[in-house]
Structure 1
Amino acid sequence: MDITLTFERPEDGPETGPVTVGWFLTSDKGAVLYDPPERLIQRPPNKAHAKSASRCPAVIQLESRYFMVKCPFDLHIGFKRDDKGKAVLVNRAGAASPVRGNKLGDVIVLMNEAEWRYPDRPTVQLLLPYCFIADEMVYLSQIGTFAHYRPDPLPGTIFGGRFPLTVWPRPLMWAFEWHAPDQDLILKRGEPLFYVQFEAVDPTRPVQLVEAERTPELVAYLEKIGGVANYVNQTFGLFKAAEAMRPKRLLVPKKRE
């Protein structure tokens, strides 16, 4: 299938300077919980030696192109099957959990067992409101936190993904494939949850990340492309149609008072 996109602004000529990418939350509900994405920087950097990795151009180039999203919740979740064999999540923290039991389903969900990639690896999704947008062609890649050391590794891996955020802005969820479901999944608020990388047509251009206004035009466009995965199997085949109905400008940097 040919899904080559032609998104461009020919009257502007070739793009130069930093690539501007906007981030925003799809809802203001509980917005105080969600920290702004941060550029990946390994601290504390040792720059005393000329050959320090902190001064290596390749390391600096790599880190400058990733942004980190932090976990907004403290969660201690287990997996089990009930007396009917149905897969269920267990709130191991019980009454001590910062997230109320009746709100846990608003935060993390266990995917339908028929949709797991492997029958012995449950898949869970952490529901998040983070969304990104750009007014020139930019691809977003969501990946695991390869630069973050965990004394107690997660009992599985996260699903990555890559898509053109310019025409397909969508809330990013954290999808986890539970390789060792006999081990609990423990997430801590403030720890790195995932990284995002942005790719423009010209890979040499740096990325400038700004908070974006959730304008009526942006909200309307999100509504037009939202939820379509429930009705078609190959959403990438809708990119051309989405591009045709996309307003020319969607990224409006948020003004600071």
Structure 2
Amino acid sequence: MSWDDYFAEDAGAAEAEGRGKSRTVTVGWTVKWDAKGSAIWAPPQTFSRSDPKASSAKSIQACPAAIDFDRRHFVIPCPVDLELAFARDAQGQLKLMDNDGEKSAMRPQGRANMFIVQPSNEWRHPERPILQFTAPYVFVADEPCWVVQTAPHLHWFPEQRPGVQMGGRFPVHIWPRPLAWAFEWYDISRPLKLKRGEPWFYVHFETENPGARVRLVEQEMTEELDGYLNSIIDVSNYVNRTYGLFADAQRTRPAKLVKPK
């Protein structure tokens, strides 16, 4: 069997469907942003390329494995223009600054609403600060589905960021909490530059049927979803190992949460 035949048939999908597992999984997305200015959060975008037409049938543009991999990713655009940098004060302590100063597109209150520097005792390394940005995208599903958040590795950036994005994975059919964007700053001599509209991070989804397609739809913020979200948001402020709460959350979860707009 050729690779074309293998992927064209979505190997294993028919067998999984026969076991009662869907070939299409609907995932709702919405934004839970309590501050004003919710228009800054753009809809997730299906990843796409603008490559020239393939000149050969063996070109990477025609590779079924590469095509299948790409089309499973969704791009979350960056919401702001911002350039941050670290400096040391007179006591040698690191201090985060907005490099644009008075010309910054963001006011201090906006920065305070959007991100924090994690306490140094929560860093993975004493010389690598961790920033955590609000990224209030909520994904929800009514059948088993995990969201996977990664750095935008399919895009090329002329100037690389001075650290690494910290990824994450959790079940959105049980725990549809808002995302966050966490950045571990390796080279504090270099600024972190974020540009509105550029790829900020990706999400893709894992389902019980590996061959299933995900249909991403804008979600209505129903009373049921809002109430369920409020029961699980910020629980990490009170307990460790929040994964241990999944069973309790599932018992109180409404039977149906997904409701497309």
**What TM-score do the two structures reach when normalised by structure 1?**
0.90
- Is 1:87 equivalent to 2:80 in the alignment? no
Give 1:41's aligned residue. Answer: 48
Q: Which among 143, 146, 162 is matched to residue 136 of structure 1?
A: 143
| C-alpha deviation, 1:160, in angstroms | 0.4
SS of aligned partner of 2:121: helix
Tell me the SS of whatever aligns to 2:203.
strand
Distance in structure 1 (CA, Å) of the matches to 2:31 and 2:195? 20
User: Would the aligned equivalents of 1:20 and 1:208 in 2 still touch at CA under 8 Å?
Assistant: yes
SS of structure 2 residue aligned to 1:127: strand
Q: 1:89 & 1:55 partners in 2: Cα distance?
A: 46
Query: Which residue in the other structure is 2:9 paired with?
Result: none
Provide the C-alpha distance between the structure 2 equivalents of 1:23 and 1:150, rounded to a whole number of angstroms. Answer: 27
Equivalent in 9, 17, 36 of residue 23 of structure 2: 17
CA shift digits 1:57-97 (9 cap, x unpaired): 00111011111101000010011233344432101001111
Aligned match of 1:119: 126
CA–CA separation in structure 2 for the residues paired with 1:155 and 1:174: 15
Secondary structure, counterpart of 2:135 in structure 1: coil
- After superposition, the C-alpha distances for 1:195-247 in whole angstroms (9 at most, x for unaligned) are 11101100101111000000000000001111110111100000000111100
Aligned partner of 1:27 in structure 2 is: 33
Letter in 1 for 2:215: Q
Question: Structure 2: where are the runs of 5+ without partners?
Answer: 1-18
Give the structure 1 partner of residue 173 of structure 2.
166
Equivalence for 1:62: 69
CA drift at 1:27: 2.9
The one-letter amino acid paired with 1:122 is: P
Helix, strand or coil for the counterpart of 1:133? strand
Could you tell me how far apart the structure 1 residues matched to 2:40 and 2:121 are?
Answer: 32
Does the residue aligned with 1:173 lie in a helix, a strand or coil? Answer: strand
Distance 1:48 1:250 in 2: 46
Shift in Å at residue 117 of structure 1?
A: 0.6
The alignment of Structure 1 onto Structure 2 pairs a total of residues equal to: 242
Q: Distance in 2 between matches of 1:59 and 1:45?
A: 16
Q: Give 1:129 deviation, angstroms.
A: 1.5
- Select 1:238's aligned residue among 241, 245, 250: 245
Give the gaps of 5 or more residues in structure 1: 1-12
Of 114-123 and 92-101, deviating more is 92-101
Q: Which residue of the other structure, out of 223, 226, 232, is the alignment partner of 2:233? A: 226
Aligned-residue offset at 1:48: 4.2
The separation in 2 between residues aligned to 1:240 and 1:102, in whole angstroms, is 38
Matched, 1:151 2:173: no
Taking a change above 3 Å as real, the CA distance of residues 197 and 36 of structure 1, as seen in their structure-2 partners, is same
SS of the residue corresponding to residue 96 of structure 2 reads: strand
TM-score (norm 2): 0.89
1 CA distance for matches of 2:60 and 2:128? 37
